[in-house]
């Protein structure tokens, strides 16, 4: 294998393992480009347009699985580094308040990002925020009443925060 091919393969593997939010969209775009270049007919144009539209559709069920994997990675990484922070944490969220709770968790992730100098933690948090926001986009306009504001939640350490965050994500997985 040539040096350029190895480099492209390594870059492709790195992209797949660190940025799963780009996986399906990039594959669909490449497929569209391939189809468009070979089928410059009316049918080819329709396929191209449908491919572009499908690339933008939410894929929430698979994104939540990647959020769980990123949370597991963060949990493993924070065991080796010391982050002395307390974070607003929803321990017992009501199912009718899960979107509000998720938004609070995502806001608090920024605190971990700022407190950590570890690039793996920072990259994983950035990826997690993108994935979770993309998954939340289908619930983004939901208004939940009677839910606690972020500042009303109990402050807990990072490990407890990650455990509770994982529980909230599981609620989204179980209802999708």
What number does CATH give the domain 63-174?
Answer: 1.20.1250.70
CB 48 within 8 A of CB 36: yes
The stretch 128-143 carries a mean pLDDT of 79
pLDDT band (50, 70, 90) for residue 38: low
Q: What percentage of the chain reaches a pLDDT higher than 90?
A: 27
49-84 pLDDT, tens digit per residue, is 655 555 554 444 568 889 999 999 998 888 878 777
The stretch 121-144 carries a mean pLDDT of 83
- pTM confidence score: 0.63
The stretch 32-36 carries a mean pLDDT of 55
Instruction: Tell me the domain boundaries of the chain.
Output: 24-55, 63-174
The stretch 150-157 carries a mean pLDDT of 92
Please give the mean pLDDT across all residues of the chain.
75
Comparing 75 with 48, which gets the higher pLDDT? 75
């Amino acid at each position: 294998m040539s040096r350029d091919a190895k480099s492209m393969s390594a870059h492709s593997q790195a992209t797949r393992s660190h940025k799963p939010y780009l996986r399906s969209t990039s594959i669909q775009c490449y497929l569209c480009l391939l189809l468009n270049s070979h089928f410059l007919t009316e049918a080819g144009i329709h396929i191209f347009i449908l491919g572009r539209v499908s690339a933008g559709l939410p894929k929430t069920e698979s994104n939540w699985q990647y959020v769980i994997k990123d949370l597991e990675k963060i949990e493993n990484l924070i065991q080796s580094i010391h982050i002395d922070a307390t974070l607003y944490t929803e321990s017992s969220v009501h199912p009718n308040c899960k979107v509000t709770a998720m938004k609070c968790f995502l806001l608090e992730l920024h605190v971990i990002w700022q407190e950590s100098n570890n690039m793996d933690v920072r990259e994983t948090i950035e990826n997690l925020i993108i994935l979770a926001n993309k998954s939340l986009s289908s619930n983004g306009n939901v208004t939940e009443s009677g839910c606690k504001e972020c500042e009303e939640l109990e402050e807990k350490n990072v490990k407890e925060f990650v455990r509770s965050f994982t529980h909230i994500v599981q609620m989204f997985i179980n209802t999708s």
